[in-house]
Each structure stands twice: as C-alpha cells, then as structure tokens.
Homo-oligomer: A and B are copies of this chain.
Amino acid sequence: MGQGQRRAGQAGLEPVRVPSAADEVADRLLTAIALGEFSVGERLPPERELAEQLGVSRPTVRIAVGRLREIGCLEVVRGRSGGHYVRTGWRAESADAVRRTLMPKWERVHTLQDTRCLIESLIARTAAERCGADEAADIRAALAAYESASEPAEVRSTSAGLHEAIARAAHNEPLAVYSRQLLQEITAGFPIEPYSGNLTERSLAEHRALAEAVLAGEAERAARIAREHFTITGENLRAILERSTAEPDSAS
C-alpha cells in the first residue's frame, strides 16, 4: 500500500447507522451491570422507574430488558416484589446466545482489548500526574473497599470502583466515559468474572501497585502497570470467551 488511501466511496462517506432508543437503553443497562452497579442477584428498578429515569417510555424499556432476558443475563419474577433480577450462573444455559452475540464481533473484541490497554494506561499516567488530595482520598478508599471484598460480585464491583476513582483523578470526564464504553462493548455486559482462579491474588497485587504508583505520582510506572494489568485481564477474558463458545455443553 502506498499512501493516502481514502477508501469507502469517493469521500469517506459511509452509510450512517442510527441507533434506536431501545438499543441505547439496553446498552446502558448492560454497562451498569458490567460496572457492578447492579450486582448478581440484585433487582433492577421497576420498569416504570427505569422509564422515567432514562427518559423513555415503558415499552421501550421492555424491549431492552426483553433483549437482556433473551441473552440470559436477566431473570424475571412476577407479582408483588417481583421484577428483573441479574442472573447468577447463566453461561452454560445461554452459550448459544453468547455465540450469536459475540461471534460476529470477534475481531472487534480483539481490537478493543488493545484499545482498552492503551486508554487505561493513558488514564493511569494522567491520573498520576494530576491526582489531587481529594482524588487521592477517593483512590485510597476504593482500594480499601476492593481489598476487603470477598464475594466475586463484590470484587468485580469494587474493582470497577477503583478504576473509576483513578479515572476521576485524571480530571478528564470524556476519557472516563470512553473507558466505560470500552468495558461495556468488550464484555457486552456479561457478568463474566475476569478475575478467576489463581489470577485473583495477582490482580490484587496489581491493583495495589497501580493505586500506589498513581498516588506517588509516578506516571511512567503507573502507565506500565496499567498496561500489563489490562493485557492480562484481556487475555483472560478472551480465554473465557473462547471456552464458552468452543464447548457450550461440557463447560462447568
């Protein structure tokens, strides 16, 4: 290939894609679940509340939750004190859905993992350079919460909390938003545990090292640690997905 290379028509004008309201709502919910704002077994707000909070109508919310239910990450209970619950173990039952959902995106997931490494590294570096007293307190608190977490769901939630605290310390909201988007698109909101087995303690050490580097203002070190950490996280996630798509029935 030589130079320039403007493909896609005469002037980079590819077809537009307009997301529907239901798409947007489904993405939001998946992101919230991925970030641990709704833990496993927890109940989502009632449809009517969700509709009001999200500024959409209830049928739209229903389309979105219906989609999540098809994927298998929500369970519905009727009657008083019913609602939509985040399912606990769902991988085995919905391997088909996973394959249908993720297979077309396989290449993209790879690329996005790389992007996430780069972005999180940048966030860590910038946070180390800009972290103030308030943010430092936030990071320490988030680290303490993470280290005292025991259940898998809690680990996931507090881990996300720590990364968000670091992102806040970078003092740049769009970067934090982009980071969240990447997490959501990579995991597609599936409540897969990136930290399983013997990786747990390694993750713990890395989280602490990352937080300390940021707090100490050591930008280079923070960037390097973040890069390694998210590389490993990404490879682990890929392995899990590979397993779940390769052997749908023999899995756990």
Instruction: Map CB proximity to B onto A1-42 as digits: 1 under 8 Å, 0 otherwise.
Output: 111111001111111111111001100100010010110000
Q: Are B12 and A32 in contact (CB under 8 A)?
A: yes
Instruction: Give the chain B neighbours of A112 by CB distance below 8 A.
Output: 174
Does A54 sit at the interface, judged by CB under 8 A?
A: yes
Does A114 sit at the interface, judged by CB under 8 A?
A: yes
Measured CB to CB, the closest approach of chain B to A27, in angstroms, equals 9
Instruction: Map CB proximity to B onto A166-189 as digits: 1 under 8 Å, 0 otherwise.
Output: 000000111100100000000000
Q: Are B1 and A13 in contact (CB under 8 A)?
A: no
Q: Are A20 and B21 in contact (CB under 8 A)?
A: no
Kindly state the separation between the CA atoms of A6 and B36 in the bound complex, as whole angstroms. Answer: 12
Instruction: Give the chain B neighbours of A240 by CB distance below 8 A.
Output: none
- A-B CB contact pairs (8 Å), 12 listed: A2-B141, A3-B141, A3-B165, A4-B161, A12-B35, A13-B32, A14-B54, A15-B56, A18-B19, A114-B172, A118-B172, A122-B122
Interface residues of A (CB under 8 A from B): 1-6, 9-21, 24-25, 28, 32, 35, 37-38, 45, 50, 53-56, 111-112, 114-115, 118-119, 121-122, 126, 134, 137-138, 141-142, 161, 165, 172-175, 178
Not counting A2-B141, A12-B35, a sample of 10 additional A-B residue pairs whose C-beta atoms are within 8 angstroms of each other reads: A3-B141, A6-B37, A11-B45, A13-B28, A14-B54, A15-B53, A16-B55, A112-B174, A114-B172, A121-B122
